[in-house]
Amino acid sequence: MGKANGKSQAEVEGLDIDHELPAGEGDERPAEAARGEATSPVSDSTALGAELQKVKTERDSLLDRLARVQAEFENARRRAGKEQQDFRDYAAFDTIKSLLPVLDSFERALQVKAGAGDFRSGVELIYKQLQDVLAKMGVRPIPTKGEPFDPHYHEAIEMVETTEARDHEVLEELQRGYKFKDRLLRPAMVKVAKNSGK
C-alpha cells in the first residue's frame, strides 16, 4: 500500500475528506460522539427563536417605558403652563384689588355736588391715592423737565431753539413716562432744547 502524507492509502480512503477531519493523537473519543456534540439546525433555529422573542419582549418593554415617560412629560408641561397662567391671573387679581379703592373714590367724587374748587381738590386727592398704589407696585414716573435728554427714557417730539437752556435739556413734558422697577413701561414724550451756544 502506498503512503500519502505519512498515512496509508487505506487510512485515507476510510475518511470522508470533505466533511470530516481525522481524530488527533490522544483523542480517544469515537467519531460518532464528536459528531453528536455538533448542534443540529433545528436546535439552532430554536435558540435563535428564543433570542428573537427575548429581544422583542425587551423592545416592547422599552417602548412602553418611553410612552409612559412621554405621557409624564406632557402632563408636567400642562401643569407648568396652568401654574404660570394661575400666577398671572392672581398677580392681576392683586393689582385690580389694590385699584378698587381709587375707583371707589372716583365714584364718591362724582356723586358729590360741589363747587369747582372742591371738585378739583377731591380729584387731586384721588390722583395722589392712585400714585401711592402704583408706587407700592413699583411704578415710578420718569423725571423729565430740566433733565438731560436720555433716549432710553425720553421720546423727543420737538426740538426747540432756545438760549435759555442747555443743549439737549428737556424743556417740557407732553406725556409722562413710567418705569416698572428697573424696566421701562412707557417713555416720556418731551420737548428738547437745541442750543448750540451752551
Cell triple for 149: 435728554
pLDDT tens readout for residues 60-108: 999 999 999 999 999 999 999 999 988 887 877 888 888 888 888 888 8
Instruction: Write the single-letter amino acid at 57.
Output: T
CATH code matching the domain that covers 43-137, chosen among 3.90.20.20, 3.90.650.10, 3.60.70.12, 1.10.1040.10: 3.90.20.20
CB 147 within 8 Å of CB 102: no
Bridge partners of 160, per DSSP, are 193
Q: Which contiguous run of DSSP H or E holds residue 178? A: strand 178-180
pLDDT tens readout for residues 99-144: 888 888 888 887 877 777 788 888 888 889 989 988 988 899 999 9
CATH 2.40.110.10 applies to domain 139-198: no
Residue extent(s) of CATH 2.30.22.10 domains in the chain: 139-198
How far apart CA 124 and CA 111 sit, in angstroms, is 16
pLDDT recorded at residue 1: 47
Instruction: Write the single-letter amino acid at 121.
Output: S
How far apart CA 4 and CA 12 sit, in angstroms, is 8
Instruction: Write the single-letter amino acid at 86.
Output: D
Residue extent(s) of CATH 3.90.20.20 domains in the chain: 43-137
How far apart CA 93 and CA 185 sit, in angstroms, is 20
